[in-house]
Amino acid sequence: MKAINRRQAFALGGGFVMLTVLPMAADAEVTNDAATWIEKFTGGKKPAKGKISLDLPEIAENGNTVPLSINIESPMTVDSHVKEVMILADGNPNAGVATLSFTPLSGKAEASIRIRLAATQNVVAIAKMSDRSLFSEQKTVKVTIGGCGG
């Protein structure tokens, strides 16, 4: 058998490093009470994908103020409108961020707020429509400096 030369040894080593580091970075673990919040809001029903556009920066340099914009597709009439939208951060000490309540008088189901994020994590939005259907969307935000203070 041929002995491994220097170049191959480096390639192998690099491969191992990638293998061990990547899976950890890919799924940030849910460490807080996000599941309880979701359960309470949805009543165990599984939300469908779509309708929501959630606008967050991909990388937030300062976790103390991360701009968040949300827009939900809806005619916003008395018969068909968005009732409530829950926003959660699954890596904060407490999952809850805000719960927005809309009415037909809102005209558009659109809002912007600024939130705190403790670390790189997913931000989840779940919308409840007037016909009780549910929609959800989530975005991962990379946070450089955490915003919950130690």
Partner 1 sequence: MADKPRIKLPKEAAKGEIIQIKTLVSHVMESGQRKDAQGKTIPRKIINKFACEFNGKPVFACALEPAISANPYIQFDAKIDEAGTFKFAWTDDDGTVITAEEKIALKA
96 contributes a contact to partner 1 by CB under 8 A: yes
For residue 130, give Cα distances in angstroms to 11, 77, 81, 125. 57, 10, 5, 16
Smallest separation (angstroms) from partner 1 to the CB of 122? 13
- Taken in order 45, 27, 73, 48, the sign of the CA dihedral is negative
Asked if residue 67 lies in contact with residue 148, where contact means CB atoms within 8 angstroms, the answer is no
Asked if residue 71 lies in contact with residue 82, where contact means CB atoms within 8 angstroms, the answer is no
Among 108, 133, 144, 145, binds partner 1 (CB under 8 A): 108
Nearer Cβ to partner 1 (47/63): 63
28 contributes a contact to partner 1 by CB under 8 A: no
Among 34, 66, 126, 127, binds partner 1 (CB under 8 A): 66
134 contributes a contact to partner 1 by CB under 8 A: no
Calpha distance 59→52 (Å, rounded): 20
116 contributes a contact to partner 1 by CB under 8 A: yes
Smallest separation (angstroms) from partner 1 to the CB of 9? 47
Calpha distance 141→120 (Å, rounded): 6
Among 74, 92, 130, 136, binds partner 1 (CB under 8 A): 92
Pick from 110, 92, 91, 101: nearest CA to 130: 101
Among 76, 119, 125, 143, binds partner 1 (CB under 8 A): 76
Among 36, 94, 133, 144, binds partner 1 (CB under 8 A): 94
